[in-house]
Amino acid sequence: MDYELIVPYIPNLRRYARALVGDRDGADDLVQDTLERAVRKFHLWRPGDLRAWLFSIMHNVFVNQLKSRKISSDQEVDDTFAAPVPGATRADVLDLQRALGTLAPEQREVVLLVALEDMSYADVSRALGIPMGTVMSRLSRGRERLRRVMNGEVAQQRSGLKVVQ
Amino acid sequence: MSADPLRDDYADQTAQIKQFFEPVMTEPIPERMHLRQPAWIAHAKAAILVGIGIAIGLMVSMVAPLSSDPSLATAQLPLRAARAHVVYASEVRHPVEVDATQQEHLVKWLSKRLGIDLKVPVLAREGFELLGGRLLPGNEGPVAQFMYQDQSGKRLTLYVTRPHKGDALTAFRFAQEGPVSVFYWMDSECGYALSGELERPALAKVATAVYRQLEN
């Protein structure tokens, strides 16, 4: 099989994994598991959108990893954006990686696929196996939450000062 | 204030995310991620390496005929493309026969000569602009070569050939021919090879864009 076809996408997979998982080793583990699975299942791929196929495999591996490590639930996000960033300082709030970590994994996936891979709603829907409507709502919630975290609106130690414009 | 500050925030947010993680794209790929290949690919690669050795000898006389054994044609595609790249990409004054200002004419002409509707990929997002193209002699008929250049003057060539009888379809592959990196593939209509004196990851990015544009 022509695994070489997958190779050009490895940097994309690594970039996405890094943003999704946060740390380098964890991200590369995710990529590694994804590649092994992709190679095993390559005979199932029919010429079409290889990128979406690879990202859908990464999604499945990611979900399995979350389950087996039981990471997810403490990062579950409520819709009121009331959940504070645990122990965040002002500087931390500005840290994009940490801010992304405050998103629920399923929101983070959608926000990152759109931002990093320029995926359309349809692409994301295919890659994650969820309906377009779900893509849209996760995207808007995820973006909004990320915006508020980055602006320090959700930080625990919120500054009382307002920026004078 | 802009009309929709939230929308602007998201555009900034997207740009920020992209910028933050962009360096990962060019990080060297860890050894463990190198996909294990079936033995026959390794053998084919070894054969190509032998081919390079022979090619160096042939370089002095570009007209030296290559074997027309169809089973070798696939292995020869990157080699021929790399040779054509070396010869024409270094041309300062006459890199192309027809330049990009006459793109429509160029594409019509080369399409007619090859007997297929050629598509010229747009690589502006990858930082390369079309310089133009030329017609080259191939083993079994004409070959089209399109040349691109980036702002620093680095050139890439896209070599397009009709498949020979007995050629197998080939998915995206990589070959290193001396200083020239080549990504190549064959679909049912054509063989394509993108060559450049670029590092493999950088060329892979452009080649992926070419592949996506041509195979869709």
How many folded domains does chain B comprise?
1
Select from 3.40.50.1370, 1.10.1740.10, 3.20.10.10, 3.90.1010.10 the CATH code of A1-70: 1.10.1740.10
pLDDT band at B6 (very low <50, low <70, confident <90, very high): low
- Specify if B31 maps to a domain: no
Contact A149, A99 (CB under 8 A): yes
Considering only the beta carbons, identify the residue of A1, A47, A96 that sits closest to B17: A96
State how far the Cα of B24 lies from the Cα of B6, in Å rounded to an integer.
28
Domains A1-70 and A72-158 fall in the same CATH topology: no
Sign, CA torsion A117/A120/A124/A126? negative
Contact B174, A7 (CB under 8 A): yes
Pairing of strands B191-196, B155-161: antiparallel
How much is the pLDDT for A42? Answer: 79
Q: Is the pLDDT higher at A79 or at B150?
A: B150
pLDDT digits (tens, 9 = 90+) for A155-165: 533 333 333 43
- Specify if B1 maps to a domain: no
Which helix (H) or strand (E) covers residue B85, if one does?
helix B70-89
State how far the Cα of B162 lies from the Cα of B141, in Å rounded to an integer.
8
Q: Is the pLDDT higher at A5 or at A55?
A: A55
* Block residue for tokens 């997979």: A13
How much is the pLDDT for B54? Answer: 60
Residue closest to A120 by CA, chosen among A46, A44, A49, A62: A49
Q: Which residues contact A61 (CB under 8 A, 6 or more apart)?
A: A30, A33, A34, A37
Considering only the beta carbons, identify the residue of B17, B24, B171 that sits closest to A2: B171
Residues of B in contact with A111 (CB under 8 A): 17
Residue closest to B118 by CA, chosen among B214, B5, B10: B214
pLDDT digits (tens, 9 = 90+) for B99-121: 888 888 899 999 998 888 898 99
Contact B120, B130 (CB under 8 A): yes
- pLDDT tops 70 at residue B68: no
Residue ranges of domains in chain A: 1-70, 72-158
Interface test with B, best of A5, A12, A13, A123 (most B CBs within 10 A): A5
- Specify if B22 maps to a domain: no
| Residue ranges of chain B whose CB lies within 8 Å of a chain A CB | 6, 9-10, 13-14, 16-18, 20-22, 24-27, 29-30, 32-33, 35-38, 41, 170-174, 183, 201, 204-205, 207-208, 211, 215
Residue closest to B83 by CA, chosen among B106, B116, B57, B122: B57
Contact B122, B216 (CB under 8 A): no
- pLDDT tops 70 at residue A82: no
Select from 1.20.140.10, 3.40.50.1820, 1.10.10.10, 1.10.3260.10 the CATH code of A72-158: 1.10.10.10
- Which residue range(s) make up the domain with B183? 37-214
The pTM of this model reads 0.49
Average pLDDT value for residue range A152-157: 59
pLDDT digits (tens, 9 = 90+) for A88-133: 444 544 488 888 989 999 999 999 999 999 999 999 999 999 999 9
- Specify if B12 maps to a domain: no
Instruction: Count the neighbouring beta carbons within 10 Å of the beta carbon of residue A10.
Output: 21
Instruction: Count the neighbouring beta carbons within 10 Å of the beta carbon of residue B46.
Output: 10
- Max mean pLDDT among B13-27, B32-46, B163-177 falls in B13-27
Residue closest to B79 by CA, chosen among B200, B178, B171: B178
Interface test with A, best of B20, B186, B212 (most A CBs within 10 A): B20
pLDDT band at A15 (very low <50, low <70, confident <90, very high): very high
State how far the Cα of B129 lies from the Cα of B147, in Å rounded to an integer.
8
State how far the Cα of B58 lies from the Cα of A88, in Å rounded to an integer.
66
- Specify if B4 maps to a domain: no
Identify any residues that bridge with B142 across adjacent strands, giving them in sequence order: B137
How much is the pLDDT for A88? Answer: 43
Considering only the beta carbons, identify the residue of A8, A97, A115 that sits closest to B172: A8
Q: CB distance B24–A10 less than 8 Å? A: no
Q: Return the number of CB contacts < 8 Å for A and B.
A: 88
Residues of B in contact with A114 (CB under 8 A): 14
Residues of B in contact with A23 (CB under 8 A): none
Identify any residues that bridge with B143 across adjacent strands, giving them in sequence order: B136, B161
Helix ranges, chain A (H): 10-21, 24-40, 50-69, 90-93, 96-101, 105-117, 121-128, 132-150
Instruction: Count the neighbouring beta carbons within 10 Å of the beta carbon of residue B185.
Output: 24
CATH number at B142 reads: 3.30.200.100
- Kindly state the percentage of chain B with pLDDT values over 70: 72
ipTM surpassing 0.95, yes or no? no
